Structures are given as structure tokens and as C-alpha cells.
Amino acid sequence: MRILAIPGSVRRGSHNARLLRHVAERAPEGVEVELWDGLKSIPPYDEDDDTEFPPRPVVELREAIAQADGLLFATPEYNGSVPGVLKNAIDWASRPRATTPLQNKPAAVIGASTGAFGAVWAQTELRKVLSTAGARVVDAGLPLAKVHEVFDEFGDLRPGEHDQQIEVVLAALTGAVDARRELAAAA
């Protein structure tokens, strides 16, 4: 099973990319979590450019989503919402609506912030955006607050309850992927 992990930050030392790497290291056997780092290359959405031949980074994003069995997003919170670069990438991926690779794609949303709430507003907004775009977003989440305090000096998540929450999120996401496969096999 292949899960595409998309961090919502383009910052070199992104806490959310670090969180996704931590998740990838703890993925159960048979689950590959691949970190996608192309967010910075996605141009601003412009319907004039969304033609039969969209920009190459957009093609790569759409293909990566299409080839994945499920999606895992980790978003920071900017001004109480989703970072613009992440929303922009989803706008590109959601079009054209009839053939979007997001359609019925199982997805999960987690997030980390230096604040006290762990990007809960951004996670809520991202779930809404993904659902509207056609993805099947699982209920499980992980609001990782005060992220600068939960990673050690080597960039590893300190042991604690976070690993249990990560397991719950991965179980919900892989369960949704399995359910989708069963439906497809029965059709």
C-alpha cells in the first residue's frame, strides 16, 4: 500500500515535513509512506493555464496523487487556516472535476504548530477543502501543539502519546484504502 504524504509547508526545516518523516518511519509492514516535496514548484492556479497541457509540476502532482492508494497531509496553521501554497496545490489537483485524482481517494489530515492548539483550525479547513474536492477524508487526526518542544535536538519526535495517535491515524487511513479496494473488487 502506497501513501503519499504531503507537507503543507515549503520551509526547509518544516515541522510538518519532519512529522511526516516520523510517520513514514513508523508505518506498519506493507505500508510505504512517500514524502512529496514538490509543493514549492506548483504555480498559482490560473484557469487560463489549466489546459490540455498544464504546467509540468501540476502534471507531476496529479500523477503522484493518482498513483497513491491514499493521501496523508500534515499542515501548519497560518492565520487560522491552511497555508496558501497547500490550498493552491489542491485547487490544481481538484481539476478537472470529472477526472480529478482526488475523487474518492482516502485521505487523512494531521498537523503541527508551535502554538497551543496544534493547527486544529487548519486541519478542519483542510478536511473541508479535500472533501469538497472529492476525497474521502477519515475522521482520525493529530493536532501536534508546541511542536518545537516535542521534537528532540536530532529532529525525532519524543516518545509519548503521539505515537499512539499516529497509529490511530494510519489505521484509519489504511482501513479506508482497504475498504475502497474491496468496493472496487466487488464492482
Q: 121, 77 in Cβ contact below 8 A?
A: yes
pLDDT tops 90 at residue 92 = yes
Give pLDDT, residue 154.
81
pLDDT tops 90 at residue 167 = yes
Residues 90, 94: Cα–Cα separation, whole Å: 6
Q: In sequence order, what DSSP letters do the residues of the chain get, joined into one string?
A: -EEEEEES---TT-HHHHHHHHHHHTPPTT-EEEE---GGGPPPP-GGG-SSS--HHHHHHHHHHHH-SEEEEEE--BTTB--HHHHHHHHHHT-SGGG-TTTT-EEEEEEE-SSSSTTHHHHHHHHHHHHHTT-EEEEEEEEE-SHHHHB-TTSPBPSSHHHHHHHHHHHHHHHHHHHHHHHHHH-
Query: What pLDDT, in 10s, does the model give residues 29-80?
Result: 999 999 999 999 999 999 999 999 999 999 999 999 999 999 999 999 999 9
The pTM of the whole model exceeds 0.85: yes
pLDDT tops 80 at residue 163 = yes
Give pLDDT, residue 160.
74
Mean predicted lDDT score pLDDT of the chain: 94
pLDDT tops 90 at residue 153 = no
Query: What pLDDT, in 10s, does the model give residues 104-138?
Result: 999 999 999 998 888 999 999 999 999 999 999 99
Give pLDDT, residue 93.
98
**Which domains can be identified in the chain, with CATH numbers?**
2-186 (3.40.50.360)
The dihedrals phi and psi of 108, each to the nearest 5 degrees, come to: -130, 155
